[in-house]
Amino acid sequence: MIERDGVRAVFFDAGYTLLCMDPPQTTVFLRVCADLGIAIDAARLEAAIRYANELLAPKPRERVRVPFSQSSIDAFWTAYHRAVLQACARDAGAADRGEVVYERFTRAIAWRVYDDVRPLLRDLRARGLVLGVISNWTGDLDDVLSRTGLRDAFDVVLDSARFGYEKPHPEIFAEAVRSAAVAPADALHVGDSIEHDVEGASGFGMRAVLIDRANRHAAFARAPRIDDLARLRDHL
């Protein structure tokens, strides 16, 4: 067990830990498809997104580091939207329009900062802790954090697309603690993914906390679980 007074740095996941889509992903997707004349079976949409989210699952640890490229990011999210369309579009051929749906979706999304984020960050900064973000983002994380007014709150921001490794790979956690000049045992990471965030950070020797805003993991007990970032103070 890592002693509470040993925490010198706190890292956060970005999406659905600090930020959420506003409006939600399903709303934006349905609007985009309606604008493009693509008929969607709304009853199948949630399952379609879960199906497509398998593309976001942790990659093998042997993944070779690759440099950031916008073309590779575009190819990934085009494939993602094709998978969603394949699973919920009424026309089987709609999946061929994945690229235009992705392009329209990207232009339409906006990000909102959860209400519990800024008060916590101010408190942690007042305690003198190093603050950082470790995220499996797709290349524009600095811009998103700047637009939402969060960028200046963080000393370290690691975007997996630009760094080359993604959570749960130990390399991205190693770079985070190196940049923060702290030992793994002195750092805590909080995020909404058991595999990427909790198991990734714990496997590297960091302390981890699961943020479970929608109470999807009520039975999870391998690390502290909170439903509001304000409760993170109880684990420092």
Mean of pLDDT over the chain: 93
Checking if the pLDDT of 63 tops 80, the result is no
Q: According to the model, what pLDDT value does residue 64 have?
A: 54
Phi-psi region of 235 (alpha: psi -120 to 50; beta: other; left: phi over 0): alpha
pLDDT class for 3, splitting at 50, 70, 90? very low
Strands 187-191 and 207-211: parallel
At residue 62, the pLDDT reads 60
Query: Cα 164 to the chain's mean position, in Å?
Result: 15
Q: How confident is the model at residue 200 (pLDDT cuts 50, 70, 90)?
A: very high
Confidence at 146, pLDDT banded by 50, 70, 90: very high
211-228 pLDDT, tens digit each? 999 999 999 999 999 999
**Residue with token string 């998978």:** 83
User: Average pLDDT, stretch 152-164?
Assistant: 93
Its pTM stands at: 0.91
Q: What is the pLDDT of residues 30-56, one digit of tens each?
A: 999 999 999 999 999 999 999 999 988
pLDDT of residue 218: 95
Query: What pLDDT is recorded for position 2?
Result: 39
Mean pLDDT for the stretch of residues 174-193: 97
